[in-house]
């Protein structure tokens, strides 16, 4: 049994931080950041918690879908930067929405929303759920080394959500893959204070080989789009919209060039938000929906990639 996307939602923290503001305490500039990444600003949590963002995006998605929280059969949250390791972020969302369905998290870094969608689809296919809320929420600013100009300028905070319902022709195609590599992009976990631990834990901040991720990202997008099109027996040119992970404008423009698709079919939100990890895709999808750019029957390719190294792709038809 397939599914339909009923509606989407998104949320950003209020505080917007421009590149110029970063250059007040980092050896960087708006010129460097914008030309190398396409990012002009990012939104950062100040008084907001991640729970607040996740709930705001979820409420909007429920409202757009005309679904009440009590009608949900499952909540899946994608995050790697939750307010708490336990309970799952999805449980906090369920509590604040007043939902009583099962709720748990999926961790697949920047590809997390696509992996969470696949989990949700599985519940629907097995007849275990009819309506599912999938929310991706990330507070990347808590995982950054704010003295490292090579990483902290790239990320921001935000959330995006979608409600899906059993019935419909989705997915037209789906592909998930992992090229195991624990070093290229990494955030170490809790250090803890076990008296038995002898090895030194690394500080819990993000480290990354930017050039390796860049190359991986361009290849991941192009390979995935070709696979999705081939699995669905359509041509790449027949895909109406591309919602790719928003890591770097240069990754997007190289992918556009290689795929030979029209530039304006590729959604861009990173100029305003930076990389909000797994929230990028549902955030961009919501933007697309809210600007009335989506028509019934349109095909949309979602491609997420990131730490893992994980890649997830979905080819969908809009309701």
Ligand X SMILES: CC(C)(COP(=O)(O)OP(=O)(O)OC[C@H]1O[C@@H](n2cnc3c(N)ncnc32)[C@H](O)[C@@H]1OP(=O)(O)O)[C@@H](O)C(=O)NCCC(=O)NCCS
Contact segment (CB under 6 A) with ligand X among 175-183, 206-214, 234-242, 257-265 equals: 206-214
Q: Would you say 245 or 317 has its CB closer to ligand X?
A: 245
273 lies in the binding site for ligand X (CB under 6 A): no
1 lies in the binding site for ligand X (CB under 6 A): no
Choose, by CB under 6 A, the member of 6, 11, 13, 37 that binds ligand X: 37
List binders of ligand X among 16-35 (CB under 6 A).
28, 32-33
Question: Distance (Å, rounded) from C-alpha 51 to C-alpha 49?
Answer: 5
Q: Would you say 75 or 108 has its CB closer to ligand X?
A: 108
The number of residues that bind ligand X (CB under 6 A) is 19
Instruction: Show the tokens assigned to 30.
Output: 């708006």
54 lies in the binding site for ligand X (CB under 6 A): no
Instruction: Show the tokens assigned to 96.
Output: 């604040």
Q: Residues 91, 245, 248, 280: which is the catalytic one?
A: 245
End-to-end CA distance of the chain: 15
- Least Å distance, CB 76 to ligand X, is 20
Question: Distance (Å, rounded) from C-alpha 265 to C-alpha 73?
Answer: 34
- 275 in active site: yes
Instruction: Show the tokens assigned to 149.
Output: 């100009």
Question: Distance (Å, rounded) from C-alpha 134 to C-alpha 138?
Answer: 13
Across 171-298, where does the E strand assignment appear?
173-181, 185-186, 207-208, 241-244
Please, what is the Cα angle at 41 between 285 and 153, to 5 degrees?
105
Radius of gyration of the chain (CA): 19
Contact segment (CB under 6 A) with ligand X among 75-83, 122-130, 176-184, 207-215 equals: 207-215
Site string for ligand X, 143-182 (x = CB under 6 A): ------xx--x-----------------------------
40 lies in the binding site for ligand X (CB under 6 A): no
**Residue whose C-alpha is closest to residue 18's, from 43, 47, 46:** 43
110 lies in the binding site for ligand X (CB under 6 A): yes
Q: CB count, 10 Å around CB of 119?
A: 16
Q: Residues 110, 152, 222, 280: which is the catalytic one?
A: 110
Q: Which residue has the tokens 């709930």?
A: 55
Give contact residues for ligand X (rule: CB under 6 A).
28, 32-33, 36-37, 110, 149-150, 153, 208, 210-211, 213-214, 217, 247-248, 275, 306
Positions annotated as catalytic residues are 110, 245, 275
């Amino acid at each position: 049994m397939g599914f339909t996307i009923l509606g989407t939602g998104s949320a950003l923290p209020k505080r917007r931080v421009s590149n110029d503001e970063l250059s007040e305490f980092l050896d960087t500039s708006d010129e460097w950041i914008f030309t190398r990444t396409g990012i002009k600003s990012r939104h950062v949590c100040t008084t907001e918690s991640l729970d607040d963002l996740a709930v705001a995006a979820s409420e909007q998605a429920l409202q757009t879908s005309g679904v009440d929280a009590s009608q949900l059969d499952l909540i899946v949250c994608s995050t790697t930067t939750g307010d708490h390791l336990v309970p799952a972020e999805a449980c906090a969302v369920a509590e604040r929405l007043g939902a009583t369905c099962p709720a748990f998290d999926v961790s697949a870094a920047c590809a997390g929303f696509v992996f969470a969608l696949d989990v949700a689809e599985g519940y629907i296919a097995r007849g275990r759920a009819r309506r599912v809320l999938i929310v991706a929420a990330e507070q990347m600013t808590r995982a950054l080394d704010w003295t490292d100009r090579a990483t902290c300028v790239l990320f921001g905070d935000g959330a995006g959500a979608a409600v899906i319902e059993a019935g419909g022709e989705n997915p037209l195609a789906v592909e998930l893959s992992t090229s195991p590599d624990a070093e290229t992009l990494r955030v170490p976990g809790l250090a803890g204070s076990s008296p038995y631990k002898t090895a030194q834990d690394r500080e819990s901040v993000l480290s990354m080989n930017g050039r390796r991720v860049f190359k991986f990202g361009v290849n991941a997008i192009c390979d995935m789009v070709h696979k999705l099109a081939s699995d669905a027996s359509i041509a790449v040119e027949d895909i109406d919209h591309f919602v790719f992970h928003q890591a770097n404008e240069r990754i997007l423009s190289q992918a556009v060039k290689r795929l030979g698709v029209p530039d304006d079919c590729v959604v861009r939100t990173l100029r305003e938000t930076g990389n909000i990890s797994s929230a990028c895709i549902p955030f961009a999808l919501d933007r697309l929906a809210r600007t009335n750019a989506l028509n019934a029957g349109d095909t949309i390719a979602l491609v997420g990639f990131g730490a893992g190294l994980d890649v997830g792709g979905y080819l969908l038809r809009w309701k």
